[in-house]
Copies of this chain bind each other. A is one copy, B any other.
Amino acid sequence: MEKFSDVLTKEQILAATEEVLRRFGIAKTSVIDVANVLNVSHGTIYRHFKSKAELLEGATKKWLDEKIIEPLTDVCHNTTLDGPEHLKTYIRTLIELKQHYACEDEELFKMYAKVTDEATDLIHKHISEVTDQICEIITRGGIKSEDPLQLAHAIFHATTRFHHPAHAYEWRSPMIHNEFLDVWALIEKGNLYENPR
């Protein structure tokens, strides 16, 4: 019966978890369902993941790495872009990816939203990867700043409404893209003291 149990990898278990999540949703997904897909006992799964919560975290990490971090890394390392324009492309890509998957991969996006709400270390690590890349773009693009990592965090926080999963309900608005452009204009060259905007 346990035909894969000896060679079963974490990667295979997570791929099966994704499949089950897309089919049944978070609430109805159980460790037993995942075991059934792989044709192993649930004990085999528990040898790799201590609980359903840990399994969901593993699946969220895989999903964030593949769907969000990989394409963002390409933008970060794109040498045809530079300075504020590079930064804007990076943030716009982050926003477009989140908004795309909120519609197109609804069940896995909901899982990510749930894990975010529980403020796990995994999410803190994901955010650090993004802010480190923003920092890299700031430094490489010669954007002047006394503290590039602090500026990276401020830019990430100021654009929260457009990429944090708790705001997915606002992304259906036809105004959302223009609202981002207005916030970006404020970040890019906002000055409440002098310049007319």
Contact = CB atoms under 8 A, between A and B. Distances in A.
Interface stretch (A27-35, A44-52, A65-73, A143-151): A143-151
Given A154-B183, A187-B190, A119 B169 contact: yes
B145 A186 contact: no
Interface string A158-197: 1111001011011000000001001101111111111111
22 contacts: A83-B192, A87-B192, A143-B192, A144-B194, A150-B182, A154-B179, A154-B182, A155-B186, A160-B161, A160-B167, A164-B167, A186-B186, A186-B190, A187-B187, A187-B192, A188-B190, A188-B192, A189-B190, A189-B191, A189-B192, A190-B190, A191-B191
Interface residues of A, number: 40
A125 interface: no
Provide the main secondary structure of the chain A interface: helix
Copies of this chain present in the complex amount to 2
